[in-house]
Amino acid sequence: MNILVLIKPVPDPEREKDIRIDEASGRLVRDGIPMVIDPESRNALEAALQLAEKSGREQSCVFALAMAPEQAKDKLVEALAMGADEAYLLSDKAFGGADTYATSRTLAQAVRKIEEDKGFAFDLILAGTSSSDGGTSHVAVQTAEWLKRTHISNVCSLDVNGGTVTAIKRSEEVMLTFEGEEPAVVGVTRDINKPRFVTAVGIIKARKKPLTIWSAEEIGTCGDLTGLEGSPTKPGRLFEPEQGRAGEAIGDTPEAAAAEILQIIRKAGL
């Protein structure tokens, strides 16, 4: 079984307050913000590793693919340390500013190149349903549409047996079970598993695993189909709202402060 996992490096949520918006371009300014693997991408990678282990690790291969600035290379090294066998990073200034349409088109082109180079089609492509920095839930299904493959998202349980993919997804009221045939693209949620930790042995092994970096030219995409130029979604006016709040000191003692707060609440009719 050959499985590809779409990895999404995202700005560290712990540094959310440091992320700014460039008002001229409408793009996030990520300079100086460390990147982490998006949580659902980690779940997708764990699901791929579990499926590979079930089908026989010697007969299975797990690939990781990301589109990100070159400084996100260490996130793919982390994916290799978790257990992926090979990784690819799409890194080019031409990819910058891409919406989900352009992103998925670029990812699909890279998938085709990997499959052509390797001489096989992936049985499964796994991804997080959504990402913590965007949350559109578009990329996995749009990538599948570019590749003309069966797809399903919001999956919290996944199994593959004899080429049949069985996926369970949560609706508002019930759990729904779907079956389909390989090849397929599946978007998973954080409910599907608990990702394994990276071990010292995994880090050592990752140093010997292949990690390829491709530019736009190397995967055969052109400027008007990638990045900001190839994105039909155009942001309107974006700005950073004021986060501060007005405040005033009340009461000279805790008792006086409590009485004044109570008076304010009553005056507000609460």
Query: pTM to 2 decimals?
Result: 0.85
Query: How large is the average pLDDT for residues 39-54?
Result: 97
Nearest-angstrom CA–CA distance, 121 and 113: 10
Per-residue pLDDT tens over the stretch 1-27? 999 999 999 988 777 677 777 766 666
Please report, for residues 36, 61, 230, 242, the alpha-carbon distance to residue 106 in angstroms, rounded to integers and kept in the order given: 21, 22, 10, 36
Structure tokens at 76: 């793919």
- What is the side-by-side order of every strand in the sheet holding 86-90? 175-181, 164-170, 150-161, 184-188, 124-128, 2-6, 61-67, 86-90, 211-214
Domain ranges of the chain: 2-225
Tell me the pLDDT tens digit for each residue of 158-213. Answer: 999 999 999 999 888 899 999 999 999 999 999 999 999 999 999 999 999 999 99
pLDDT in tens, 243-263: 677 777 888 898 888 999 888
The residues, any chain, with a CB within 8 Å of residue 269's CB and separated by 6 or more, are none
Residues, the chain, total?
270
Q: Compute the distance between CA of residue 116 and CA of residue 191 in angstroms, rounded to an integer.
A: 34
Residue ranges of the alpha helices (H) in the chain? 39-55, 73-82, 100-118, 139-147, 200-206, 216-219, 254-267
Classify domain 2-225 by CATH number: 3.40.50.620
* Residue carrying the six token digits 């996926």: 167
Contact by Cβ (8 Å): 52, 2: no
